[in-house]
Structure 1
């Protein structure tokens, strides 16, 4: 999912006093209308989930507006500037800090005791970090995702790996042997446009981000980037996008890749002939096997006139039974830990693997500059991989850029 930038000072300069004037929701033809903004495919499906909530809340009509991800950021910026937003909005977890910093999200702290579904202990530890900004509770995890390793079990067994690679060394060894097994075979697919993978490797190598001292030139971060870029230098991964990953996976040209839970259904639908020839595994470990955690949160727009109704709606959507129903509808993973005890997840080997990985995951740092920093890292990696730039020089430059952004 590509983001289009951050809320700059020019937008923030719009007087928050005018923003704090109430939304235009409330009474409509004698009934109340609750406005919900949801993104992408989720927005189209969410309206199917509102019927029971409306029955339990007579006189309340839930109006879901589906907003394409590619236009969502700009639409949210407009809402911040004008103060004319929804009552409830869905936010990708990497957007939370940006819009919280802009003052667009209601502080839910005083309401936490009244809504047991909102208790942070109900959620994966990695997801809890996205709930708060500047000591305020500004969002509740709705669904989650993480990255695991997809691999061709049959092809790895042919090169001496009857089990999934469990360490960095094993991954390098297995993917090297796969690359040598045929023409135009790249043992591990790494998407150079994906900002998540470099940070996953860094976390696995012991890197801890500090906003006061980003220190991307630390041995931990540099070691991770050396490892990441070595796959391209050694010809194990291709810098070119090339063939669609599903087709390449089917053909055995890219037998290992990292992705999220959505790929389970994609592969089942588009590569049915591979049934029994592929699996998912938790990420290979260095110091640890931490992966990323993402997904989406529900937040309340700061100037809604329907605070109670908004919180009731979010509470309903985060009940365990509702989350399991939403999983069936949308193929997204529940954020509630209790939902993972259900046989639909616990007894499914692949989903259970995602559940295990979610236990060892962390989210992006909750700073509004994170997206720009991540894009600068990708630009540095591109210069290293394609232009032969010096890793030390690039990471020292990234340190300075990050410090300037955060200031």
Structure 2
């Protein structure tokens, strides 16, 4: 991120805090909202909402929830009826969380009173109209990270990537060209989209048994056949990229900050590019939304907080604090944000991105079955047809809408 942009954001925060502090009601007891924020950014989130508290007199108690604990935490809250006032939800979790009926529906009067929350303000595909239960908070996508000191340029197609990866793997023992995280359920889907296909049939159910997916399987398994990717389950993708062992990988914008922190001396020796293509270069539209707990004791306060967090300037401030891309269209159109060469690529890729099918339990069922099949082929030598038949049996007909 350009230093100028970060300084502008920080200055804006300080000015806003100073201005709002003067209007905070003196000596008044604060109402307080409990907010669940995923990961380890709760301290920075408290910074972000301080102007809101100073302006409204509504306090915010931020609780950090580890990503791998959110399912259990949410299930327990639904069973007990005791949830937070506001919570962050990853897009892949949204269908299941919405199905619980524990979240406030943001329609009718709520949207009339809070027009900043209407879906049209945000990237297409993140928020829904009828039955909307959340507001886009941050956006994410997948791009190609590559070592520009080891490649003449990024591959434009997956066939070019496979060829370049094979050449890079020929540098010697322990050298590879590409990294496939064996926990990443999205990469095979991206490869399917690149081949002009989808994993959802005309009836709105999951169907992997298509020519486009078969070509994606050929690409995925072929990279292992070429010995272009490490087969080690514990392989560290950051260190692999920094060391040059794996000079290409597909990841989200968050990886850029990790690379800068781990290897500042690599500046100028790596970059990002839109995903390799085929028929298409469509990437994943991911991120997180914010929702209001249906049984909150302070619905008005919770919606006012969502208003604050949905504002483009607030989302730009959050990018300055935490490095997560905005989801508001007006924020993504900010010229200072797009002045960062890497961010300009992220925004370009977001224009050609779509979410995973809204399967209620993608991570635990459909996505898991997909990875189980592919990893059994490349890691344990399971017969390809046998593995794919098991995948089709486990997933075909699963509702995806």
TM-score between the two structures when normalised by the length of structure 1: 0.86
Of 225, 228, 234, the residue aligned with 1:236 is: 228
Mapping of 1:344-383 within 5 angstroms?
344-371=336-363, 372-383=365-376
Equivalents in 2 of 1:126, 1:353: separation in Å? 19
The residue that corresponds to 2:11 in the other structure is none
Structure 2 CA distance for partners of 1:266 and 1:304, relative to 1, 3 Å: same
Spell out, residue by residue over 1:326-383, the C-alpha distance to the aligned partner (whole angstroms, 9 max, x if none): 1111111111121123244211110110111111111121221322110011111111
Aligned twin of 1:153: 148
Report matched runs for 1:315-354 at 5 Å.
315-354=307-346
**Contact 1:217–1:392 (CA under 8 A) maintained in structure 2:** no
Offset at residue 30 of structure 1 (A) = 5.6
Aligned match for 2:59, one of 61, 65, 68: 61
- TM-aligned CA deviation for residue 405 of structure 1: 5.7
CA contact (8 A) 1:122 1:338 kept: yes
Q: 2 CA distance for matches of 1:392 and 1:315? A: 51
Q: Which residue of 2 aligns with 1:260?
A: 252
Please tell me whether residue 249 in structure 1 is matched to residue 244 in structure 2: no
Q: Distance in 2 between matches of 1:46 and 1:82?
A: 27
Task: Answer yes or no: is 1:36 the counterpart of 2:26.
Answer: no
Once residues 30 and 148 of structure 2 are traced to their aligned partners in structure 1, the CA distance between those partners, rounded to angstroms, is 57
Q: Does 1:127 align with 2:126?
A: yes
Give the Cα separation in 2 of the matches to 1:197 and 1:370.
14
C-alpha separation between the residues in 1 aligned to 2:138 and 2:337?
Answer: 14
Is 2:392 the counterpart of 1:393? no
Number of residue equivalences: 369
How far apart in 1 are the matches of 2:271 and 2:233? Answer: 23
Shift of 1:242: 5.3
Give the TM-score normalised by the residue count of structure 2: 0.87
**Structure 1 residue ranges without an equivalent (≥5):** 1-28, 158-162
Pairing 1:145-184 to 2, within 5 Å after superposition = 145-157=140-152, 163-184=153-174
Per-residue Cα deviation, 1:203-256 (whole angstroms, up to 9, x for no partner): 222222147542211111111111111100111112114553233223221110
Given that 2:206 and 2:398 are in contact with CA atoms closer than 8 Å, whether structure 1 keeps it comes out as no
Deviations 1:101-136, CA, capped at 9 Å, x for gaps? 1111111111223323222222222423xx46xx40
Structure 2: unaligned runs, 5 residues or longer: 1-27
Q: Distance in 2 between matches of 1:373 and 1:144?
A: 23
Matches of 1:167 and 1:113, distance apart in 2: 46
Counterpart Cα distance in 2 of 1:93 and 1:400? 26
CA distance in 1, matches of 2:44, 2:183: 28
Which residue of the partner structure matches residue 182 of structure 2?
192
- Secondary structure class of the residue paired with 2:40: helix
Partner of 2:102: 104
CA contact (8 A) 1:369 1:406 kept: no
In the TM superposition, what is the alpha-carbon distance from 1:403 to its structure 2 partner?
Answer: 3.9
Q: Secondary structure at the match of 1:239?
A: coil
| SS of aligned partner of 1:153 | coil
Shift of 1:43: 2.6
Counterpart for residue 12 of structure 1: none
